Amino acid sequence: MKHIGRTKIVQILTLTDFGIEVNVKGWVRTKRGNKQVLFIALNDGSCIHNLQIVVEPDKFDEHLLKRITTGASVSFNGTLNKSNGSGQAVEILASEIEILGDCDVDKYPLQPKRHSLEFLREIAHLRYRTNTFGAIARIRHAMVFAVHQFFTQKGFVNIHTPIITSSDCEGAGEMFHVTTLDFNNLPLTEDGTINYNEDFFGKQTNLTVSGQLEGELAAMAMGDIYTFGPTFRAENSNTSRHLAEFWMIEPEMAFADLNDNMDLAEEFLKFLIKQALIGCEDDLLFLSNRLKEEEKDKKEEERSMELIEKLKFVHSNDFVRLTYTEAIAILKDSKYNKNGKFKYNITGFGNDLQSEHERFLVEKHFKKPVILTDYPKGIKSFYMKLNDDNETVRAMDVLFPQIGEIIGGSQREENYDKLVARMNEMGIPSHDMQWYLDTRRFGTAIHSGFGLGFERLMLFITGMSNIRDVIPFPRTPKNAAF
Ligand code: 4AD
Ligand code: MG
């Protein structure tokens, strides 16, 4: 008899050479049956589907069979058979069983039933073992791979930018400090402030909020680059779309203006969506049904579009492009605004857009993704290129249904004098950032880039509604467990 070694369930489910001997290892999801026959649903993380193991109890020791419980890790040798049962094409008839790890089933928090997402967040160390979190983990991986695939195909070079920095790219002061100073015995200067000369790096440092500044340096030599790294923001926003630690993809292109930047962003997002549709079909189908189930008690008009249909819709439609000023006019004149339905009323130019406004434009007004450009300089970062009107900058935000802002980017100010002037106006310490300004002195060129929040992308692709559920171990205010 032909025997193959340990085989992953995703492969076993495609096999048709019935009669061969295989070995499979995994964790038991459920066990049911009677004295004549037992059916075990085994999952090994390789796909959403379980493998059915058929066990004839009289062939095995009773005590061994008792140890096959939900959560236990078990190895089975057996024959690959065509399954007569509904729900699966193949099954394994067990010939040898080895318990690899018993599960203390009375204390095991994952029972074979539906658990709330809130409960699963409290046991994030075990939630991978549920269908939902297994599917999300596999899709997350597929999206990481697709990011590198996209940029590699386009000739972009991946750059690793530092995680510890002394600058604040976004200028918002939302940084986690990095120090080795002893808080109970801080070295002080003569005027009583903390003496950072004594600190590990000899200056004040923090976790990076963005890899952009270093990305720009690389683009000014390599042409097209991208970063993909963790970023940290100490903003105290306890929303379903904010994390204190998240992953960001930041391409930067030399010789590219805002239009090129918008084209790249749209092409990139559509590529990622396509790869999810092609490569993650089973997981998406599962998540689509999960979403339907979650929303079954909602009114028709409050339900989201079916997940796969939504992905196809965004993939096959052009994004709407308009300026901030045009968007403000639409919002200001909207019935929503006039009837006071926005939490933040829109009064005119200069208003910062909240996610309620962004979602109104995308979900109610245009019913398509939207790219907004040319925001007032006062609400955007120092590095964005100033328009000739002296009021707006060449910024772009890509707004998505359900998410709001998924991408933020801009054309950069490449003119040395204008950039220094903006930094001084905004209180950015330009003397500490000579390294950044040098690119504007030594062969400057127009350039543009953006940042895609990886977990915001994951929210969109998976249809999950809380960002804490699309990263394995979320970091949010007052929460750094696991
Ligand atoms: O708009 P942001 O702040 O832009 C930058 O950091 C630029 N340096 C990017 C660039 O031009 N290279 O952030 C970019 C994206 C946002 O659009 C959002 O998707 C995501 O990062 N993001 C967050 N995601 C999760 N939690 C948070 N707290 C986030 N803050 C931003
Ligand atoms: Mg932004």
Q: How far is the CA of 240 from the centre of ligand 1 (A)?
A: 15
**Ligand 1 pocket, residue 475 CB under 6 Å:** no
Contact at 8 Å (CB) between 89 and 13? yes
Question: What pLDDT digit, counting tens, does each position of 393-422 carry?
Answer: 999 999 999 999 999 999 999 999 999 999
Percentage of the chain modeled with pLDDT above 70: 100
From the list 463, 473, 466, the residue with the least C-alpha distance to 238 is 466
Indicate which residue's Cα is closest to atom 23 of ligand 1: 453
- Average the pLDDT over each of 125-139, 258-272, 293-307, 377-391 and give the range with the smallest value: 293-307
Contact at 8 Å (CB) between 411 and 387? no
Q: How far is the CA of 4 from the centre of ligand 2 (A)?
A: 52
The model's confidence at residue 303, banded by pLDDT at 50, 70 and 90, is: confident
Looking at residue 139, what is its pLDDT?
A: 98
Output the DSSP codes for 14-83: T---TT-EEEEEEEEEEEEE-SS-EEEEEE-SSSSPPEEEEE-GGGS-HHHHHT--TT-EEEEEEEEEE-
**Which ligand sits closest to the CA of 459?**
1
Q: How far is the CA of 398 from the centre of ligand 2 (A)?
A: 9
Q: Over 70: is that where the pLDDT of 256 sits?
A: yes
- Cross-strand partners of 320: 370
Looking at residue 87, what is its pLDDT?
A: 80
Q: Which domains does the chain have, with CATH numbers?
A: 9-101 (2.40.50.140), 129-174+209-319+368-469 (3.30.930.10)
Indicate which residue's Cα is closest to atom 29 of ligand 1: 242
Which ligand 1 atom is nearest residue 250's CA?
12
Q: Residues 296-324: what's their mean pLDDT?
A: 94
Q: Over 90: is that where the pLDDT of 319 sits?
A: yes
Q: Look at residue 93 and give its three-state secondary structure.
A: strand
Looking at residue 135, what is its pLDDT?
A: 98
In order of 46, 136, 154, 284, 315, the CA distances from 128 in angstroms are 12, 9, 34, 16, 29
Looking at residue 445, what is its pLDDT?
A: 98
Longest dimension (CA), the chain: 85
Looking at residue 71, what is its pLDDT?
A: 97
**Ligand 1 pocket, residue 374 CB under 6 Å:** no
Strand (E) positions, 172-281?
177-178, 205-207, 224-232, 245-254
In order of 67, 133, 169, 184, the CA distances from 262 in angstroms are 57, 32, 21, 50
Q: Over 70: is that where the pLDDT of 1 sits?
A: no
Q: How far is the CA of 433 from the centre of ligand 1 (A)?
A: 21
Contact at 8 Å (CB) between 307 and 280? no
**Ligand 1 pocket, residue 250 CB under 6 Å:** yes
Q: Helix count (H) and strand count (E) of the chain?
A: 14, 17
For residue 179, give every residue at least 6 positions away whose Cβ sits within 8 Å of its Cβ, in sequence order, or none.
Answer: 199, 200, 204, 205
Q: Over 90: is that where the pLDDT of 338 sits?
A: yes
Q: How far is the CA of 397 from the centre of ligand 2 (A)?
A: 7
From the list 155, 167, 254, the residue with the least C-alpha distance to 214 is 167
Given strand 205-207, what is the order of strands in its sheet? 164-165, 205-207, 177-178
**Which ligand sits closest to the CA of 410?**
1
**Ligand 1 pocket, residue 468 CB under 6 Å:** no
Which ligand 1 atom is nearest residue 251's CA?
12
Percentage of the chain modeled with pLDDT above 90: 93
> Would you say the pTM of this structure is higher than 0.75?
yes
What's the mean pLDDT when you consider all of the chain?
Answer: 96
The model's confidence at residue 101, banded by pLDDT at 50, 70 and 90, is: very high
**Ligand 1 pocket, residue 282 CB under 6 Å:** no
Q: How far apart are CA 1 and CA 81, in angstroms?
A: 13
Question: What pLDDT digit, counting tens, does each position of 32-56 carry?
Answer: 999 999 999 999 999 999 999 999 9
Task: Count CA atoms within 13 Å of residue 129 on its CB side.
Answer: 22
**Ligand 1 pocket, residue 211 CB under 6 Å:** no
